Structure 1
Amino acid sequence: MNLTERAYGLAESLLSGPLPRRWSHSLGVAERARSLQPILGDDAALMEAAAVLHDIGYSPAIASTGFHPLDGARFLRDQEGVDERVVRLVAHHSCALLEAEERGLREELAGEFELERPDLVDALLFCDMTTTPDGEPTTSDARLAEIVGRYGADTIVGRFIQRATPEIQAAVHRVEGRLGPVRRIS
């Protein structure tokens, strides 16, 4: 079984039953990742695997700290022995260090998991932040507004996402720039 097949099976087993909407989102993020193949080259399969696995830390079966990037990455590393680059992408997806800071977990996250290459971090951030909770394509502006609306501006997630907005938007623009004007994804 190759990396992506294993990733889909694992994500489905952890998310589809208890969190069907999160599973739909993960499938949509993985579809976005496949669309980036022209700029990812040899890292396309790695990105697709990270995309479908990025939110497994929400699964009640593995959640321990309540911070899904850390819980997911620890599970993938410690229980599943998944490729370390996938683990690092899951650990640091979508500006996770900023949210970890809000939760008092920044040192744990940074100490346990190195950052992956910036272009791959940007690509996963792009995929996550241009996909709705239901797995449909969206703009980063709409996605950011949806997150703040769902969680509330004064919650940990709301504060984090507002702090992360400039970096999220910059990453989305960097990926769109790499795709070129004809291939922009709306």
Structure 2
Amino acid sequence: MHVGEAELKNVLPRRWAHSLGVASRAAGLGRILGREADVMVAAATLHDVGYAPRLATTGFHPLDGARFLCDEHGADERLVRLVANHSFALLEAEERGLREELEAEFPLLEEQILVDTLVYCDMTTTPFGEPTTAQERVVEIVGRYGADSVVGRFIRRASPEIFAAVERVDAALAAQPR
């Protein structure tokens, strides 16, 4: 059984459906990722594993998931750093007082295409695993968590960066032959 499935499917089935949708989006981006496609599909599948109740030590799922993948599975460093920093997690970490901790343990990758692609896949997939727009996804997240919650504040603050990352991936896709 896959690590993400083992941790999420039974306890958080909607979160698992979202992760499968994100992974499906990632699998369709091979033409812009080339050799990096496998690490992206893995990161997409595992990006929310830190929501699993048994892993939630800090309550900040990117950090909890990255620690789990590193400590219990000895996962590839790039994969772990993608999970730790997915969808502008540093901004949410800042809201939670965990930015320095996240940056020290799992520095952001310099490979912009990988960072952008994971944002693209996550932020254009609904909680049920269906495609959506980044704008609709941000509205959905704010609605689900509340505008004044930690997540609501973070997502509103991160939205210009999210939209820019999605635009960069859309441009890369448009530039590639089908």
TM-score bracket, shorter-length normalisation: over 0.9
Q: In the alignment, which residue of structure 1 is the partner of 2:119?
A: 125
Question: Unaligned 5+ residue runs, structure 1?
Answer: 1-7
- Partner amino acid, structure 1, of 2:6: S
Q: In the alignment, which residue of structure 1 is the partner of 2:128?
A: 134
Indicate the RMSD between aligned Cα atoms, in angstroms: 1.4
Single out whichever of 115-124 and 169-178 deviates more from structure 2: 115-124
Q: In the alignment, which residue of structure 1 is the partner of 2:58?
A: 65
Dislocated runs of 4+, deviation >2 Å: 181-184
The alignment-based identity, stated in percent, is 65
Q: Within 5 A, what are the aligned runs for 1:18-37? A: 18-37=11-30
- Count of residues paired in the alignment: 177
Single out whichever of 168-177 and 109-118 deviates more from structure 2: 109-118
Distance 2:177 2:107 in 1: 31
Structure 1 pair 161–183 and aligned structure 2 pair: CA distance change class (3 A)? farther
Q: Within 5 A, what are the aligned runs for 1:1-186? A: 9-116=2-109, 117-180=111-174
Task: Kindly state the Cα deviation for residue 183 of structure 1 after the two structures are TM-superposed.
Answer: 8.2
Structure 1 pair 113–182 and aligned structure 2 pair: CA distance change class (3 A)? closer
Distance 2:11 2:84 in 1: 22
Distance 2:6 2:83 in 1: 17
CA offset digits 1:54-101 (Å, max 9, x no partner): 000000111100000000000001111011110000000000000000
TM-score using structure 1 length? 0.93
Task: Kindly state the Cα deviation for residue 119 of structure 1 after the two structures are TM-superposed.
Answer: 1.1
TM-score using structure 2 length? 0.97
Question: Unaligned 5+ residue runs, structure 2?
Answer: none
CA offset digits 1:8-32 (Å, max 9, x no partner): 7000000001000000000000000
